[in-house]
Amino acid sequence: MFTNPDEVSKYLKDEGVKFVDVRFCDLPGVMQHFTVPAETVDARFFTEGCMFDGSSIRGFQAIHESDMQLVPDVTSARLDPFRREKTLNINFFIHDPLTGEQYSRDPRNVAKKAEAYLKGTGVADTAYFGPEAEFYVFDDVRFETKVNGGMYHIDSEAGWWNTGREEPGGNQGYKVRYKGGYFPVPPVDHFADLRDEMVIALQGVGLEVERAHHEVGTAGQAEINYKFNTLLAAADDIMLFKYVIKNVAWAHGKTATFMPKPLFGDNGSGMHCHQSLWKDGSPLFYEEIGYAGLSDLARYYIGGLLRHAPSLLAFTNPTVNSYHRLVPGFEAPVNLVYSQRNRSACIRIPITGSNPKAKRIEFRVPDPSSNPYLAFSAMLMAGLDGIKNKIEPLAPVDKDLYELPPDEHAAVPQ
């Protein structure tokens, strides 16, 4: 949308923008913000930025060295579709105000350095990521932790547990069965109109939506896919995606959650990450004669992901709840193998035909509780290590890994 500060300044004046929302990501992966009046934005704003208290942000500074500097990334600017007053949201990089250096714990800076490292290797100059973040939509969410006990309770009008509930006007049935939400039409699918509104809002902020549908889980589990992007931009996109989804749900009196496993006994919400490497505008993962159309470089990249998968979990699946999702029987990956078409494998090679530009791998492990800037960077580093050291993955397993005989299953790395 914007390429330089002059374009932003002109837009603020020409379009009557009232506020600029200053946004940055904390270490766990949550966007933080404060707002400044648009008329205060001058040339110095784009070079010197804003100061903030880094000691009040999780994972950042100690109180005796708390002052930190925010510098705008104008390419990330988007008009906010939810604020009453016209507001332009801009993502910022974090700097040390004394040295001017980019802050090592700034997740966006980590992603930026990962892209620079990729170019420095000479292997490729661009990494594309296409995350698919699933989510649930609930009507009621309550939780409590006290010194003498704790509880949580969630509810949804579409939840299968409500088939026998008395409801105003009568219970019309039409609830989604456990693991039965892929792809029933309305009225079983209660949320088609809500997803349509989400899609329109996503398109309004610049995301190119490709499809939207009810997911496998009961109680409104959903997935909305949009076009892939380069690493840093893709991480910005997923943060914007979450912001839009949550606020559209909120406007309808509902709660959207990207929690990996909110319901015991039903499918969790993953964030499968499609990824590929390119150089000089050409894709590097395609080779017609390779297994599933994969090049040697793509195979080594897979080898790196599988070799480092246990360590990657710290970045791709960082919460306790993440591990409630990673169990057999719910389409979640628990086996360290790759395979074509196979959703029981840790890495799936989607069927993309003979178009080299569409060839990619899908790492099915991550979930949307992760910090995408760190998760994408970690995956790229693992894949590049595989390429550097020519790490050969085990032979692909083109079987249902959940139904293997015990002797075969014992040989599959977990």
Output the domain CATH number for residue 34. Answer: 3.10.20.70
For residue 212, give the H/E element and its range. strand 209-214
User: Residues 73, 215, 266, 367: which is the catalytic one?
Assistant: 215
Strand bridging mode 87-95 / 19-25: parallel
Tokens 């690493």 locate to: 231
How many domains does the structure of the chain reveal? 2
Q: Please state the φ and ψ torsions of residue 55, each to the nearest 5 degrees.
A: -75, -15
For residue 325, how far is the Cα from the chain centroid?
16
Is the preceding omega at residue 19 within 30 degrees of 0, hence cis?
no
For residue 277, how far is the Cα from the chain centroid?
19
Q: Is residue 267 marked as binding? A: yes
Residues 141, 245: one domain? yes
The answer to the question of residue 113 being in a domain is no
The answer to the question of residue 108 being in a domain is no
Domain boundary among the residues 59, 88, 103 is at 103
pLDDT digits (tens, 9 = 90+) for 84-141: 999 999 999 999 988 889 989 999 999 999 999 999 999 999 999 999 999 999 999 9
Overall average pLDDT of the 5-22 stretch: 95
Residues 79, 202: one domain? no
Q: Is residue 84 marked as binding? A: no
Cβ proximity of 363 and 347 under 8 Å = yes
Residues 243, 356: one domain? yes
Query: pTM (2 decimals)?
Result: 0.94
Q: Is residue 221 marked as binding? A: no
Give the per-residue pLDDT at 402: 64
Instruction: Give the contacts of 49 (CB within 8 A, at least 6 positions apart).
Output: 69, 70, 71, 72, 92, 95
We report the CATH number of the domain holding residue 239 as: 3.30.590.10
User: Residues 23, 78, 95, 272: which is the catalytic one?
Assistant: 272
Catalytic: 101?
Answer: no
Q: Is residue 117 marked as binding? A: no
Q: Which amino acid is at 241?
A: F
pLDDT band at 337 (very low <50, low <70, confident <90, very high): confident
Q: Pseudo-torsion of CA 153, 159, 164, 168, nearest 10°?
A: 90
Give the per-residue pLDDT at 355: 87
Catalytic: 364?
Answer: yes
Tokens 């892929």 locate to: 182
Instruction: Report the DSSP beta bridge partners of residue 30.
Output: none
Residues 11, 65: one domain? yes
User: Residues 106, 132, 266, 367: which is the catalytic one?
Assistant: 132
Domain boundary among the residues 63, 88, 103 is at 103
Q: Is residue 291 marked as binding? A: no
The answer to the question of residue 115 being in a domain is no
pLDDT digits (tens, 9 = 90+) for 48-84: 899 888 889 888 877 887 888 999 999 999 999 999 9
Q: Is residue 18 marked as binding? A: no
Q: Is residue 343 marked as binding? A: yes
Overall average pLDDT of the 152-156 stretch: 95
CA distance 78 to 240: 9
Overall average pLDDT of the 271-278 stretch: 98
Catalytic: 215?
Answer: yes
Catalytic: 21?
Answer: no
Residues 182, 96: one domain? no
Q: Is residue 179 marked as binding? A: no
pLDDT band at 413 (very low <50, low <70, confident <90, very high): low
The answer to the question of residue 234 being in a domain is yes
Q: Quick one: tokens of 256? A: 């959207």
User: Residues 190, 308, 364, 367: which is the catalytic one?
Assistant: 364
Instruction: Report the DSSP beta bridge partners of residue 289.
Output: none
The answer to the question of residue 133 being in a domain is yes
User: Residues 106, 115, 189, 223: which is the catalytic one?
Assistant: 223
Q: How many CA atoms lie within 13 A of 364 on its CB side?
A: 25
Cβ proximity of 229 and 111 under 8 Å = no
Q: Is residue 10 marked as binding? A: no
Q: Is residue 274 marked as binding? A: yes
pLDDT digits (tens, 9 = 90+) for 353-380: 788 999 999 999 999 999 999 999 999 9
Residue 414 pLDDT > 80, yes or no? Answer: no
User: Residues 73, 80, 237, 362: which is the catalytic one?
Assistant: 362
Query: Cα–Cα distances in Å, from 116 out to 136, 232, 315?
Result: 36, 11, 20
Instruction: Give the contacts of 389 (CB within 8 A, at least 6 positions apart).
Output: 300, 304
The answer to the question of residue 382 being in a domain is yes
Q: Which has more confidence, 351 or 193?
A: 193
Residues 153, 297: one domain? yes
Residues 324, 212: one domain? yes
pLDDT digits (tens, 9 = 90+) for 382-394: 999 999 999 999 8
Residues 154, 95: one domain? no
Residues 48, 163: one domain? no
Residue 284 pLDDT > 60, yes or no? Answer: yes
Q: Is residue 177 marked as binding? A: no
The domain containing residue 322 runs over which residues? 126-410
Residues 348, 380: one domain? yes
Residues 297, 388: one domain? yes
The answer to the question of residue 300 being in a domain is yes
Give the per-residue pLDDT at 403: 65
Give the per-residue pLDDT at 412: 67
Domain boundary among the residues 88, 103, 118 is at 103
User: Residues 83, 324, 343, 409: which is the catalytic one?
Assistant: 343
Residues 75, 154: one domain? no
User: Residues 53, 101, 208, 408: which is the catalytic one?
Assistant: 53
The answer to the question of residue 348 being in a domain is yes
Catalytic: 223?
Answer: yes
User: Residues 73, 134, 236, 266: which is the catalytic one?
Assistant: 134
Q: Quick one: tokens of 42? A: 């001058």
